[in-house]
């Protein structure tokens, strides 16, 4: 039976906290969890969940993943705990470290997550910040591997905002040496900090392309991926962004321009008929619901490694 290996980093705050070998190990473990070929007992281990933003998939997949591993979760609702009152992160982190074995945090500022990790003596997991969504990227590459067996010659095209989901895909893609193309309207490119770091990892192979030209980004793509144009916390920009992203919808015309074997991914939740049509979500090329399921398997793998 495959055993979870301890990870070099105590935390999972960024896709960059993993090495390439560790990502492959997590994907292999996730496959074993999915096929019920592995049984790890994390009895008495407790995962604390702190979510400053809404969540369906991340919250529930972590809860179920922990239950399947024999552990339990505690939902630390910021509005009914002292977190919402503004108790300093360094106090909360040190107290929770004494109760919980691992903490997953969804918040706005990535620096707040880093502050938690700095003061926590237990592993901290990024359950989404404004900068990254690394748990999502793990499930995404697992879903891509399920489809294409390996990553050789896979071209992943992300269409939309250079946001947290795009950032983690770029970094994880770089570690896996996958060609990643980002197609976005002018002004919505991912942060140069992320692009520069990814290019260093690719060692200057030109496998990361950032473009405003949708057609060239989609030609030959095996994976078409999108996410909402306005992320949580950007509600006041929605009207402007809806206008600026006009034409960047995954629809049947665009799908026609991709490789014949192309699959469609979306991290969900979606705004149907904005960034993706209803028909594209429901098409036989969509792997969106497998992708959502895979959050649970990859997070079982992650939790078992962080707690081993
Ligand atoms: N994809 C994702 O993280 O979904 P939730 O916001 O529902 O957790
Ligand atoms: N980019 C989106 C992802 C939601 C899972 C957001 O941050 O709202």
Considering the chain, what percentage of its residues have pLDDT values greater than 70?
100
pLDDT at 214 over 80: yes
Q: What angle do CA 275, 285, 159 make, to 5 degrees?
A: 30
Rg (CA), the chain: 19
Rounded distance from Cα 162 to ligand 2 centre (Å): 11
Question: pLDDT tens-digit profile of 45-58?
Answer: 999 999 999 999 99
| Cβ neighbours for 231, distance < 8 A, ≥ 6 positions apart | 130, 161, 163, 164
Mutate to test the pocket of ligand 2, among 227, 241, 274 (most ligand atoms within 8 A of CB): 227
For 199: left if phi > 0, alpha if psi spans -120 to 50, otherwise beta; the answer is alpha
Domain boundaries, the chain: 15-132+294-306, 136-292
27: its two tokens: 């994907």
pLDDT at 204 over 80: no
The pLDDT value recorded for residue 185 is 98
Query: Considering only CA atoms, which of 129, 124, 183, 133 is closest in space to residue 155?
Result: 183
Provide, for the chain, the percentages of residues in helix, strand and coil under a 3-state DSSP scheme, each rounded to the nearest 5. Answer: 45, 15, 40
pLDDT confidence tier of residue 306, bands split at 50, 70 and 90: very high
pLDDT at 179 over 90: yes
From residue 305, alpha-carbon distances to 8, 15, 110, 299 in Å are 10, 15, 23, 10
Residue range 80-89: mean pLDDT, rounded = 92
Give yes or no for residue 164 CB within 6 A of ligand 2: yes
pLDDT at 294 over 90: yes
19: its two tokens: 């090495």
Can you tell me the distance from the alpha carbon of 64 to that of 296, in angstroms, rounded to the nearest whole number? 7
Can you tell me the distance from the alpha carbon of 265 to that of 143, in angstroms, rounded to the nearest whole number? 9
Give yes or no for residue 228 CB within 6 A of ligand 2: yes
The pLDDT value recorded for residue 227 is 98
pTM of this structure: 0.98
> Which residues, judged by CB distance below 6 Å to any ligand atom, belong to the binding site of ligand 1?
55-58, 128, 136, 267-269
Residue range 272-301: mean pLDDT, rounded = 98
The pLDDT value recorded for residue 77 is 87
pLDDT confidence tier of residue 276, bands split at 50, 70 and 90: very high
The pLDDT value recorded for residue 176 is 98
Question: pLDDT tens-digit profile of 110-168?
Answer: 999 999 999 999 999 999 999 999 999 999 999 999 999 999 999 999 999 999 999 99
Rounded distance from Cα 240 to ligand 1 centre (Å): 23
Helix (H) or strand (E) holding 16: none
Fold agreement (15-132+294-306, 136-292): yes
**CATH number of the domain located at residue range(s) 15-132+294-306 in this protein:** 3.40.50.1370
Q: Answer for the pair 306, 12: CB distance below 8 angstroms, yes or no.
A: yes
At the topology level of CATH, where does 136-292 sit? Rossmann fold (3.40.50)
Rounded distance from Cα 55 to ligand 1 centre (Å): 5
pLDDT at 215 over 90: yes
pLDDT confidence tier of residue 20, bands split at 50, 70 and 90: very high
The pLDDT value recorded for residue 127 is 98
Question: pLDDT tens-digit profile of 218-248?
Answer: 999 999 999 999 999 999 999 999 999 999 9
| Cβ neighbours for 155, distance < 8 A, ≥ 6 positions apart | 179, 181, 220, 221, 222, 223, 259
The pLDDT value recorded for residue 235 is 96
Residue range 284-289: mean pLDDT, rounded = 98
Orientation angle between helical segments 192-201 and 164-175, nearest 10 degrees? 10
């Amino acid at each position: 039976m495959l055993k979870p290996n301890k990870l070099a980093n105590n935390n999972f705050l960024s896709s960059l906290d993993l090495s390439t070998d560790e990502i492959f190990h997590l994907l292999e473990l996730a496959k074993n969890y999915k096929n019920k070929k592995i049984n790890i007992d994390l009895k008495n281990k407790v995962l604390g969940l702190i979510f400053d933003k809404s969540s369906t998939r991340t919250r529930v997949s972590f809860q179920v993943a922990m239950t399947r591993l024999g552990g339990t979760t505690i939902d630390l609702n910021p509005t009914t705990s002292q977190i919402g009152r503004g108790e300093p992160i360094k106090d909360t982190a040190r107290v929770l470290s004494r109760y919980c074995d691992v903490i997953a945090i969804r918040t706005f500022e990535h620096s707040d997550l880093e502050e938690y990790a700095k003061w926590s003596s237990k592993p901290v997991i990024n359950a989404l910040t404004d900068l990254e969504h690394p748990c999502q990227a793990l499930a995404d590459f697992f879903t891509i591997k399920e489809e294409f067996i390996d990553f050789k010659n896979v071209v992943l095209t992300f269409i939309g905002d250079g946001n947290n989901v795009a950032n983690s895909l770029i970094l994880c893609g770089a570690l896996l040496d996958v060609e990643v193309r980002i197609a976005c309207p002018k002004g919505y490119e991912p942060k140069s900090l992320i692009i520069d770091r990814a290019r260093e990892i690719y060692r200057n192979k030109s496998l990361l392309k950032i473009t405003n030209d949708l057609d060239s980004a989609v030609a030959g793509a095996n994976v078409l991926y999108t996410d909402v144009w306005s992320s949580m916390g950007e509600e006041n920009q929605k009207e402007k962004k809806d206008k600026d992203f006009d034409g960047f919808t995954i629809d049947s015309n665009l799908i026609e321009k991709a490789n014949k074997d192309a699959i469609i991914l979306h991290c969900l939740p979606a705004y149907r008929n904005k960034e993706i049509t209803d028909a594209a979500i429901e098409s036989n090329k969509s792997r969106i619901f497998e992708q959502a399921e895979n959050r649970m398997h990859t997070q079982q793998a992650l939790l078992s490694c962080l707690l081993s």
